[in-house]
Amino acid sequence: MLNTLLIGVQKFLGSMGFTAITPGQVIMLIVSFVLIYLAVVKKFEPLLLLPIGFGMFLANIPLAGLMDAPVGHIGEEGFQAGGLLYYLYLGVKLGIYPPLIFMGVGAMTDFGPLIANPRSILLGAAAQFGIFAVFIGAALLGFTGPEAASIGIIGGADGPTAIYLTSKLAPHLLGPIAVAAYSYMALVPIIQPPIMKALTTKEERAIVMEQLRPVSKKEKVIFPIFVTLLVSLILPSAAPLVGMLMLGNLLKETGVVDRLSKTAQNELMNIVTIFLGTTVGATANAATFLRPQTLMIIALGLFAFSFGTAAGVVFGKIMCKVTGGKVNPLIGSAGVSAVPMAARVSQTVGQEENPGNFLLMHAMGPNVAGVIGSAVAAGLLLSIFK
C-alpha cells in the first residue's frame, strides 16, 4: 500500500508542469503577461489583445497540451483526442473565423462617407502601398513569396485579413504576424501622429472640409451588392472577405432583418472574436515564436504600417493641391483599415491645429475604403501564391 502511494505521489510530481518548463516557455509566458497588461491596464485593443495574450499563456503552459494534435483516428485502439484549442483553431486554419469577423465589421460599418465622397477610395488604395513595399522588402531579405506576402499584409492594419492570408500562405508564421498586426492596430494613436505631422504643414492640418452630402437608403443598399459583384468578378479570391463584409453591411442597411444585423454585430462577433483571438495567440509557442525571424517580422510590420500611413498622407497632399486646398491631407492616414481608430486619430490631430475642425466623417471614407482595399490586396496576393 505504501509503495503504491509513493508511486502515485511520484507520478503526480512528474506530471507537474514545473518539472518540464523550459526557458523559452518562461519567456513566452512573460510576453503573454505583457500583452494582457497592455489590454487590461493600457486598454490597447483589449477585445483582441486580451484573448490573444491569454491564448499565448495557455499554449506555453508545459504539459497542458491544449494545442496538441490528435493521435490516431476515432474508434481505433490507442486514439488520443487533441487539445481543446487544437479543435477551435480549425476555424482559423480552414479560413472560417476571419470572414465571419468581416461580416460583423460590415454590420457595424457605415459606408455613407465613402459613397458621398467616392474619391476617398483613392486614399484607401494609397494606404495599401505599405503592403506591397514590405512584400518586396521581405522577399529581398530572403523570405519566400508566400511568407513575404503574409508579412506585407500587416501594413493594412487589418487583423482578420492578416490572419486569413497568413493561414492560407504561411501558417507557420501566424503567431508573430497576428501579434504584430494587432499590436500595431492598438498603437495607431501613438504611431500615426508623428508621421502625419512630419508630412504636413500647420496650414494643411487646419483645413476645414465641406460637409458631406446626404446619402440615400437606396445608395446604401445598392453599394454592398455592387462592390461584391465588381470585386468578386475581378478578383474571385477576395470574395470570402469582401462578400461577408458586404453581407453584414446589407443586413444593416436594408433595415428589414434587424435581428440578424444585431446578431452579426454582437453575439456572433463576440463569440468568433474569443475563438479567433485565443487560438491565434495559442499558435505563438516558444518553438515558433522565439526566433530571429520573429524580430524581422515585427520590424517589417512596423515599417509596412508606417509606410502605408505616410503613403495615405502624401496622396492626401496631392488631392489637396489638385482640389485647390479643399481636402485636408490628414484624412489620408485613415486609409489604413484600423476602423474607426485611424479616423479618430485624423480628427484628433486636425483639432490640435483648429479646434473647430471636424474631420471624423471625412476620414471615415478612406477608413472604410481601406477595409475593402486590404481585403482586395489579400485576394490579389492569394491569387498569385496559392
- Interhelix angle 360-385/145-152, rounded to 10 degrees, is 170
How many other CB atoms are there within 10 angstroms of residue 16's CB atom?
11
Identify whether 240 is part of a domain: yes
Say whether pLDDT at 13 is over 80: no
Span 80-124, pLDDT tens digits: 889 999 999 999 999 999 999 999 999 999 999 999 999 999 999
Across the chain, what does the average pLDDT equal?
Answer: 92
Say whether pLDDT at 6 is over 80: no
Instruction: Report pTM.
Output: 0.90
Per-residue pLDDT averaged across 225-242, rounded? 96
Say whether pLDDT at 268 is over 90: yes
The grid cell for 348 is: 484628433
SS3 annotation, 65-111: CCCCCCECCCCCCCCECCCHHHHHHHHHHCCCHHHHHHHHHHHHCCC
Say whether pLDDT at 183 is over 80: yes
Span 115-146, pLDDT tens digits: 999 999 999 999 999 999 999 999 999 999 99
Percent of the chain with pLDDT over 90: 77
Identify whether 161 is part of a domain: yes
Span 165-176, pLDDT tens digits: 999 999 999 989
Per-residue pLDDT averaged across 10-29, rounded? 80
Per-residue pLDDT averaged across 209-223, rounded? 94
Say whether pLDDT at 368 is over 70: yes
Percent of the chain with pLDDT over 70: 98
State how many domains the chain has. 1
Identify whether 265 is part of a domain: no
Q: How would residue 15 be classed by pLDDT, with cut points 50, 70 and 90? A: low
Span 63-81, pLDDT tens digits: 888 999 998 887 787 788 8
Identify whether 60 is part of a domain: no
Residue 324: left if φ>0, alpha if ψ -120 to 50, beta else—which one?
left
Say whether pLDDT at 240 is over 80: yes
Identify whether 83 is part of a domain: no
Per-residue pLDDT averaged across 31-44, rounded? 92
**Domain extent at residue 303:** 110-177+184-255+292-385
The DSSP call for residue 187 is T
Distances (CA, A) of 302 to 134, 289, 366, 370: 10, 17, 20, 17
Is pLDDT larger for residue 340 or for residue 385?
Answer: 385
Identify whether 87 is part of a domain: no
Identify whether 212 is part of a domain: yes
Identify whether 281 is part of a domain: no
Span 273-291, pLDDT tens digits: 999 999 999 998 888 888 8
Q: How would residue 207 be classed by pLDDT, with cut points 50, 70 and 90? A: very high
Per-residue pLDDT averaged across 238-244, rounded? 96
